[in-house]
Amino acid sequence: MVNITDSLTNALQNSGSAPFLFVGSGFSRRYIGLETWSDLLARFCKNIKDYGFYLSNANGDLPRTATLMAKDFNPMWWEHVDYEKSKQEYGNEATEQSASLKFEIAQYLRGLSLEYKDKGLADEINVLSRMNVDGIITTNWDLLLEDLFPDYKVFIGQEELIFSNPQSIAEIYKIHGCSSRPSSLILTEDDYLDFQDKNPYLAAKLITIFVEHPVIFLGYSINDPHIQDIIGSIARCVGADKLKQLEENLIFVERAHGDEQDAFEGATITIGASKVRVTLIRTHDFSKIYAAVEATKRKIPARVLRYCKEQMYELVKSTDPEVKLAVRDLDDIGEKDDIEFVVGVGVAEAFRKREESVTEKQKEVMTARGYTGITVDDVFVDILKDSTSYKADEILKSTYPLFKKLSKANIPSFRYFREAGISDRDALDECVYADARLVATRTFRRGFTTNAYRAQFERDFQGLSTQEIIDRTTPEKASLMLPFQPKNEIDLAALEKFLKDNSDKLKEGSYRSYFRKLACMYDHLAFGFDV
């Protein structure tokens, strides 16, 4: 039997570029139980005619079905008592016939989350959330991808993608709209006609991605007419000389049915008079796909590359002589307010040598004192143990003076202060551990939240308990959302268990800096005080 992971890993490595995902409705159906489009529409026929009436009058055409539904749904929505709250929230924006139906669909989709996931797919979801793909294109309206890739920048609708400056790294392109913006949904017949009119412009925007990157289609049938339209538009744009390169980059993944075996083979899509060759993968276990993608990930997180590329573009474009520059560690990319950030070419080696020399000096000093080289990683593991492995006095005196010189800004320390008998600000000010005090003060004053995610927390997680936030989303997104909880609402036991369950993410991965911030917050809340 074919080894899907090895075959796909080889294909991705031979391409020389990190992949993009192109994600369809089958993906959300697999992980959050989302209905088919037809079943989703039927859900909103409660107070209008039977769904079969609209479907039959539209001859089975779903955009036409939605158009007919919207015509009846709109007056009912304005008059029915069930929608009073919706009208208060959205009435001023419901300025066209389909707006009310779009709002109700969007509201329903925003309520779906990973807490409804099939527990049997937990391994797939864990691998998914670790993947470091260059970007994602999707026709889905739900927020699952934002949960899985919380650090990726989202572009909603064709126009936002066409008229913005995407960097093609760590971005999500929601080309059919998003439930976070109901008016953007491509739902009705008119919406689709408008979308098709703009397809050539969209194709021109996406052409570089399709030619330069492998594109893995998840959650679509290879016969999906809307995807065939997009591929057809791109194929016409690239011309015959680039068509083979395009074909080599198109990879469709379909769920195997019944007793079907894993397959990795060629297939042909017929689009009008043209034929396009693609790679077709069939499997029951999608973790085989995700493992192949993870095996070919970049050494630097995609979010870091996108931010640097974006800021380099802005710097070159700017004519402002006051534009600001700063040197930052990779872990600090989230803390970027009020600077224009670019990559400094040629300085990385100097930083590396400086840190290596500090680490060597650290080992020498601690060896002389009976310690054998405690690292920042060791400290993050230690503060989560039931009993710490180090003597508080020794580590505060011997190790933290060297931590002060490292570029890692977020380092926990309050547990050791507590064990050394320091339990308030006055005692800290008077203690002999001056360097450790500086590390603690620096970490505390930087804060534990990342402001770019405040709106997401307020929209989707405010009012939930610590455990509910953890259950509702991926560990990666939870690490971003939990610091926004009011201090008096944080369940320290749940937070401690979450950090222990994800302790590997404190040492490596694209979201390491966020998990470290969260661990520092736990250290402060469980053992510390304001400084």
For 299, counting Cβ atoms within 10 Å of its Cβ (0-12 exposed, 13-18 middle, 19+ buried), the class is: exposed
Q: pLDDT: is 528 or 344 the higher one?
A: 528
Helix (H, G, I), strand (E, B) or coil at 396: helix
Residue 312 lies in a domain: no
The model's pLDDT over 439-469, given as tens digits with 9 standing for 90+, comes to 999 999 889 999 889 988 998 899 999 999 9
Residue 131 lies in a domain: yes
Q: Is the pLDDT of residue 100 over 50?
A: yes
At residue 329, the pLDDT reads 53
Residue 520 lies in a domain: yes
- Tell me the pLDDT of the chain averaged across its residues: 86
The model's pLDDT over 114-134, given as tens digits with 9 standing for 90+, comes to 665 566 787 888 888 888 788
Q: Number of structural domains, the chain?
A: 3
Query: Mean pLDDT over residues 179-187, rounded?
Result: 96
Q: Is the pLDDT of residue 348 over 90?
A: no
Q: Note whether 101 and 125 are same-domain residues.
A: no
CATH number at residue 181: 3.40.50
Q: Note whether 29 and 145 are same-domain residues.
A: yes
Q: Over pLDDT 90: what percentage of the chain? A: 58
Q: Note whether 443 and 456 are same-domain residues.
A: yes
Residue 473 lies in a domain: yes
Residue 283 pairs in a beta bridge with 255
At residue 345, the pLDDT reads 44
Identify the domain boundary among 58, 91, 110: 110
Residue 480 lies in a domain: yes
Q: Note whether 28 and 85 are same-domain residues.
A: no
Q: Is the pLDDT of residue 427 over 80?
A: yes
Among 40-49, 97-106, 352-361, 395-404, name the one with the lowest average pLDDT. Answer: 352-361
The model's pLDDT over 382-416, given as tens digits with 9 standing for 90+, comes to 999 999 999 999 999 989 988 887 755 789 999 99
The model's pLDDT over 488-528, given as tens digits with 9 standing for 90+, comes to 999 999 999 999 999 999 988 888 999 999 999 999 999 99
- Assign 3-state DSSP to the chain and report helix, strand, coil percentages, each to 5: 55, 10, 35
Provide the pLDDT confidence category of residue 360 given band limits of 50, 70 and 90.
low
Strand (E) or helix (H) holding 267: strand 263-271
Provide the pLDDT confidence category of residue 162 given band limits of 50, 70 and 90.
confident
At residue 246, the pLDDT reads 92
Contact 179, 110 (CB under 8 A): yes
Q: Note whether 25 and 143 are same-domain residues.
A: yes
At residue 346, the pLDDT reads 47
What's the domain range around 51?
37-110
Query: Mean pLDDT over residues 211-232, rounded?
Result: 91
Provide the pLDDT confidence category of residue 337 given band limits of 50, 70 and 90.
very low
Among 128-132, 313-317, 337-341, 428-432, name the one with the lowest average pLDDT. Answer: 337-341
Q: Note whether 153 and 49 are same-domain residues.
A: no
Q: pLDDT: is 297 or 340 the higher one?
A: 297
Residue 320 lies in a domain: no
Strand (E) or helix (H) holding 100: helix 99-110
**Cα separation of 269 and 264, whole Å?**
16
Residue 238 lies in a domain: yes
Strand (E) or helix (H) holding 285: none
Q: pLDDT: is 442 or 271 the higher one?
A: 442
Identify the domain boundary among 278, 295, 312: 295
Provide the pLDDT confidence category of residue 320 given band limits of 50, 70 and 90.
low
Contact 215, 20 (CB under 8 A): yes
Provide the pLDDT confidence category of residue 321 given band limits of 50, 70 and 90.
very low
Q: Note whether 12 and 69 are same-domain residues.
A: no
Provide the pLDDT confidence category of residue 232 given band limits of 50, 70 and 90.
confident
Q: Note whether 159 and 249 are same-domain residues.
A: yes
At residue 477, the pLDDT reads 92
Closest CA to 346 of 374, 321, 323, 327: 327
**Cα separation of 276 and 454, whole Å?**
44
Q: Note whether 250 and 372 are same-domain residues.
A: no
Closest CA to 486 of 465, 468, 467, 500: 465
Q: pLDDT: is 216 or 331 the higher one?
A: 216
Q: Note whether 451 and 493 are same-domain residues.
A: yes
Q: Note whether 78 and 11 are same-domain residues.
A: no
Q: Note whether 17 and 93 are same-domain residues.
A: no
Identify the domain boundary among 62, 82, 110: 110
Query: Mean pLDDT over residues 149-170, rounded?
Result: 86
Distances in whole angstroms, Cα of residue 65 to Cα of each of 9, 25, 108, 188, 361:
42, 18, 19, 8, 71
Residue 340 lies in a domain: no
The model's pLDDT over 47-90, given as tens digits with 9 standing for 90+, comes to 999 999 999 999 999 999 999 999 999 999 999 999 999 999 99
At residue 437, the pLDDT reads 95
